[in-house]
Structure 1
């Protein structure tokens, strides 16, 4: 099973990069998953952004701390392969995991959100324990949407040997630590952002800079400009992870 995970799609530049590049490379992969929590103008997911990702070839869209910024997401969570963090409190709309099939094999995708410098959700460690006890699949991919690299690494080592791969998202900064952990789980701290890097984590430079200079709230504006497509390639075979490697494409 060859899988491509696309890092946080940020606003119009991110959607454009996915639309321009993914159709060309889509035949090389059995499954494509994208984090789309910033796809709608930089915050949240709406029907237009979801449709653009699906039409480009994305099989499943994950969310994050901006999951519920658009009301349209509630309908998507009810009917479409859209996943929010599994460690939201009981009763939260949607689901935190999804099962995908490709080539006669199954993939269980689970997302959890970190709690360090983030919203105080339920324990992601025990949430994953419960899901892994209840669900079975040939392969398990866990996305950890978290601010602290230490929390992502802690979750990865906690899951080492129990899941096929753990990928981090949220910081919009790609890391060069793609590796195999001691018990075989593939890991990368952050896949990075698909959007314009002439920005401050995808936001307009002047308004984001003003937050630091004035210590006051500023309007949120997603940056414009040429985009980079950041993703991670995963190869699974024989019930285990075979390889992990970052993938980068830059808009001409």
Structure 2
């Protein structure tokens, strides 16, 4: 069994490279999971960006700290295969986990949000404990959407041997640490961003530079430019991952975009 986890699809470049490349490789994977929290103009998910992600071949879309930036997500999250962080307080719309099933095999996908330099949500560690206990599954992937690599690795070691993989998202830069913890759980601190790296984490360079140079808020504008498809491939053997491999594809750039 093979699973592809696609890192944060960001703005039009991310949409474009996903639509170009994922259909070409979709047949190689049993399931494709895509983080789409920045797909709509760099912040949030709307109907148009969600439809593009699904039509490209995603089985499940995950969100993050920009989950609520587009009002259309409130309808989508109640009816579509989309998950937000499971450690939001009770009563939050949507759900924080999903079970993908094929041939009787149940793959549980959970997302939690970190709390270091992030919103003060409920405890992600005990949240995952509860879901693992309550939801029947054969294997589990946990996505942690967080700033701090220390928190991501803390969750990894906490879950080591109990889940197949712990994958980080949010910082938009792929990390070179993909590998295994002592009890067999696969881990990568950040899968990275599917979008243009001719940017500052997907944002226009000039607008982001203004924040650093002046210390004052500046309007966010998403960047345009050549994009990379960035993902992590998991190869399963039963309920365990036997291989974890970062995956990248650079688009041929001709200056066009998605309207």
- TM-score > 0.5, shorter chain as reference: yes
- The equivalent residue for 2:197 is 197
Gaps of 5+ in 2: 253-259
Give the distance between the partners of 1:55 and 1:102, measured in 2 at CA: 20
Pairwise CA RMSD of aligned residues? 0.6
In structure 2, the residue matched to 1:21 is 21
Spell out, residue by residue over 1:150-171, the C-alpha distance to the aligned partner (whole angstroms, 9 max, x if none).
0000000000000010000000
- Offset at 1:187? 0.5
Paired residue total: 252
Gaps of 5+ in 1: none
Q: Distance in 2 between matches of 1:162 and 1:18?
A: 31
Match of 2:6 in 1: 6
The equivalent residue for 2:255 is none
> How many Å separate the matches in 1 of 2:147 and 2:21?
28
State the distance in 2 between where 1:14 and 1:206 align.
Answer: 19
Report the CA distance between 1:136 and its aligned residue: 2.2
Q: Deviations over 1:26-74 (max 9, x none)?
A: 0000000000000000000000000000000011000000000011001
Structure 1 partner of 2:156:
156
| Cα displacement (A) at 1:237 | 1.7
Alpha-carbon distance in 1 for matches of 2:51, 2:213: 38
Instruction: Give CA deviations for 1:61-107 in whole Å, capped at 9, x if unaligned.
Output: 00000000011001111100000000000100000000001243110
Which aligned runs of 4 or more in structure 1 are off by greater than 4 angstroms? none
Structure 2 partner of 1:86? 86
Q: Hey, what does 2:74 align to over in structure 1?
A: 74
Give me the TM-score of the superposition, normalised by structure 1: 0.99
Distance in 2 between the 1:11 and 1:127 partners? 30
The corresponding residue for 1:140 is 140
Per the alignment, residue 211 of structure 1 pairs with 211
Map 1:55-134 onto structure 2 (within 5 A): 55-134=55-134
Partner of 2:46: 46
